[in-house]
Chain A
Amino acid sequence: MANIITDETIEYVSILAKLELSEEEKEQAKTDMGRMLDYIDKLNELDTDGVEPMSHIFPYTNVFREDVVTNGDERDAILSNAPGVKDGMFRVPKTVE
């Protein structure tokens, strides 16, 4: 495997992804990610100098809404899905900056 994924990398990426992996999962993730990256490295065979990265397939631009209020009160339908609600708000663990 050309791409060796370290424990630190797995640790770092799982912080970004907000995933808590078991030891077993971490080992598996190291192997899986390394293999996938080896495979993705195949793209380096292609010379893409001067090729504009294509994020949108069609060159459409300027899709707008006009500044007009169209939404009514959807509070109940939306809050009804929340695992925790209090006083019409979403309940989360104490969050301080």
Chain B
Amino acid sequence: MAKQYETVIGLEVHVELATRTKIFCGCSTAFGGAPNTHICPVCTGMPGSLPVLNRRVVEYAIGVGLATGCEITRLCKFDRKNYFYPDNPQNYQISQLYLPVCQNGRVEIETDTGKKSVGIHEIHMEEDAGKLIHDEWEDISLVDYNRSGVPLIEIVSEPDMRSAQEVIAYLEKLRLFIQYLGASDCKLQEGSMRADVNLSVRRAGEPAFGTRTEMKNLNSFKAIARAIDGERERQIELLEAGASVIQETRRWDDNKEYSYAMRSKEDAQDYRYFPDPDLPPVYISEEWLEEIRSRQPEFRTEKMARYKAEYGIPDYDIDILTGSKRLADLFEAASKICGRPKKVSNWLMGETLRLLREREEEPEDIRFSPEHLAELVMMAERREINGSAAKEIFEAMFDFDVSPGQYAQEKGLQTVNDEGLLRDTVERIITENPRSVEDYHSGKEKALGFLVGQTMKAMKGKADPAAVNRVLRELL
């Protein structure tokens, strides 16, 4: 039955821009800090205060627009969106409705069902709201305006997506563009990238769209996928039961896997947009646009080609590494220092991804520096540490960004390079294990492994396994 329905999805993606200051005042955008310590009269809506636009916000927005093939609106304006809510200190949000900075773009995606182009209706600049914290003790809410006025771009897609898979492919592509631009770290969990899903269903073949709902509070790709499936089911059930879908905003509860209608009827949803008289228009000249264009970074496609030519690492590695700006940056920087791109790639593709998965983190959360990764690679190259020590050091580095050299020294993890001690130990092991020596001489290679193990154990794991092997064969 559900098969007869097509899901139609459009996305509104909010991205917090990586500027140092807020969009309309000189307050810091730094995360953390006690509540209301990054505030001023402007971002708390004090009477008499006025907004002044941060130039970087416009440049980042244009950068994202160019990356997604948008037309740049040469004369764009800010409008006020009026609605009462305590996280919004002026009770209007400065946004763009009539002349958004970017329009008519597209993002190419690829899924199991093939390649597809998702249209971008517009990208506009706006200010973020403050944070509401619920106080359980008194059953009241508290407002912190540290995030109020943090610059956002809102990327509004066309209703071109038909499945959760397409949605995630689109979001990943978008995120990569923005991360490559350095315009945001795009962390869904922390809210620096937030996706609202507009979803409707229609019977296959029907030309008109069904009534859509908007879902908010989606803070991971998994939640987005579940919310899409859940909302699709809910709408189909309604239609099958002869009821109709109500156009409304719903909040996804990922634990209950169900969405709930938001906002009371007290809100008439009539935002009374009008041009903000406090902010003159922004005129984007050809020269300015050219300057921004010339500063655009190398995006993924170009980077992939260059990696192939420059580093000679497998396509599989290139695909993964360039799939994250953070991984790609780490790879390039560490390779440059140690000159061992394949080894660097191995650490990133293997241990790094494994630990990220284990810790439920993303590449953007990586704490270790490329310098330390390069140092670790070189220590292993120089056989100063053996494989198991390297893994132990890496894990400490991954969690606490320790210096590998220092850490190895403190923990006594360096390989013992004392040939005399090694020979003495091997001789002792041979004497203590006549059976294994016999087995070895009768052709059982496995016995050698046992002897290597015994020697390593006797040397508390600090021997270089290759050296142990060599000395054993020699003395046997």
Q: Are A and B in contact, CB atoms below 8 Å, in the complex?
A: yes
Name A residues whose Cβ lies closer than 8 Å to a Cβ of B.
Answer: 12, 15-16, 18, 55-56, 60-71, 73-75, 78-79, 86-97
| Also in contact, A74 and B39, with CB within 8 A (given A55-B275, A61-B282) | yes
| Also in contact, A65 and B39, with CB within 8 A (given A16-B270, A89-B133, A92-B86) | no
The number of inter-chain residue pairs (CB within 8 angstroms) is: 130
Contact of A92 among B36, B52, B141, B266 (CB under 8 A): B141
Docked Cα-Cα span, A93 to B139, in Å, equals 8
Docked Cα-Cα span, A69 to B138, in Å, equals 36
Contact A65 B53 (CB under 8 A): yes
Contact A65 B263 (CB under 8 A): no
Give B410-428 as 1s and 0s: 1 = Cβ < 8 Å from A's Cβ atoms.
0000000000000000000
Name B residues whose Cβ lies closer than 8 Å to a Cβ of A.
Answer: 19-21, 25-28, 34-41, 44, 46, 52-56, 58, 75, 77, 82, 84-86, 132-135, 138-145, 251, 262-263, 266-268, 270, 272, 274-275, 277, 279-283
Contact A87 B277 (CB under 8 A): no
Docked Cα-Cα span, A12 to B269, in Å, equals 11
| Also in contact, A56 and B282, with CB within 8 A (given A12-B268, A92-B143) | no
Contact A65 B21 (CB under 8 A): yes
- Cβ–Cβ < 8 Å partners of B145 in chain A: 90
| Also in contact, A63 and B52, with CB within 8 A (given A71-B28, A74-B40, A89-B142) | yes
Q: Which residue of A lies closest to B285 (CB)?
A: A62
Contact A67 B277 (CB under 8 A): no
List 6 A-B pairs, Cβ < 8 Å: A61-B281, A63-B53, A71-B26, A90-B36, A91-B141, A92-B86
- Cβ–Cβ < 8 Å partners of B28 in chain A: 69, 71
Contact A56 B21 (CB under 8 A): no
A6 to chain B, nearest CB (A): 15
- Cβ–Cβ < 8 Å partners of B27 in chain A: 69, 71
Docked Cα-Cα span, A66 to B141, in Å, equals 35
